[in-house]
Structure 1
Amino acid sequence: MTQQRVAIVTGASRGIGRAIATKLAATGAAVVVGYSGNEASAAEVVGEITAAGGQAVAYGADVADEKAVAAMFDRAEQAYGGVDVVVNSAGVMILSTIAELDLDDLDRMHRVNIRGSFVVAREAARRLRPGGSFVTLSTSQVGIQSPTYAPYAASKGAVEAMTLVLARELRGRDVTVNAVAPGPTATDLFLDGKDQATIDHLAKLPPLERLGRPADIAEVVAFLAGPSGHWVNGQVIRANGGII
């Protein structure tokens, strides 16, 4: 009998994280739906998964708080027996030119995007079972380099560097470590505050001439997290429709 895979997905109450959680559940994984502040939305995700016949529990944790993250991993192990997949989708994006940057905003992004990634990565490195996978979320803005994205892209550049090093550090563990870097993706967070002309312009950037969908990113993550993607290791996958 094949052992059920167990996944922890942070930032899973909405957007790309939600799509990843539901996709992994659809592949048969039991999922811990990690969230920061939106308990009601996390409960909706759990309800969606269980209504489709899957297994899921919600767990609230600040990814930058090492005790809270350790407790979330404890919850996964208590509920399902171990951890096979960890996807760190939690993140904060605040846009600003460098000249006008509020350093408090920079500190907030560093805390969630960099410290949070290290906290989750450290726990994943300690607990993932053989055959497991750790996937981080970056951004294609690391390569696109659009104005106002420097603070956010810098934080995600740090995530990419950490991801590639961790893949090498886990030699001999049979655990893969990869990053997925979405391009413009039609989430509520991304669309908020953008007028239709801006959205139309961004949709034309990829050769495929549309915005990404959360499900597009979830498919890539599910491949990397599953047995079919286990030969892919130490890579950054730019899932952006061909922008760069």
Structure 2
Amino acid sequence: MEDVVPTVTTWSTGRIIEKELPRPDQVRLRLLVEDRQHHAPGQHYVIRLRAPDDYTAQRSYSLASADHEPLVELLVERLPGGEVSEFLADVAEVGDVLEVRGPIGRWFVWDRRTPSLALVGGTGVVPAISMLRAAAHLRRPDLLRVLAVGRDPASLPYRDELARSGATLLYTRHDAGGRAHGAPTAEEVRPLLDGVERFFVCGSPRFATLAEGLLAECGVEPGAVRVEQFGASG
């Protein structure tokens, strides 16, 4: 359903239907969420863990799934000392039930109508995957362009799906396609700007700062850019 952005969400439960470890430091979960609400590309869910003594820990994770898909898909980066991410990667099993709340978010949301560019890095590619799947479902892949940056092909989440969608893939520590490794440049961003009205930046604080600088160098107005950063502390 287009343009449905819930403003109020309550805690619910999600049963783990599928669990994959694409890499030792990543876990992909697909959940069947009770009383699931429609979501827009770019929104996220919160997962809450509760100990027997009622101590709780919670963490937000962007949605990779599009709204039309039957399961809620999350990609979690396993962080050393991360209470939630280590549990999800090392302890949680298919069939387990988790406390979840979502979808959440109104700012970093693609309306599925506005021609947009997602400039994303590392696990910041996750909301771009939701956007790409939504665009494909609408049969309007022309509405979204993606430039995804990773250290190398092996560490870039959803690399194959991104490549199939026509995304531009760049690597900071790996030579590929005749391009020497290194950070993206304004010259690589400019060809993607024609006709774009909105820009989504997602990644680490360092990546977000770089991406915002590149867009500014290309003449993009700051008001057209929406930024979402992630980090170990959430």
TM-score under structure 1 length normalisation: 0.32
Looking at secondary structure, tell me which structure has more strand per residue: 2
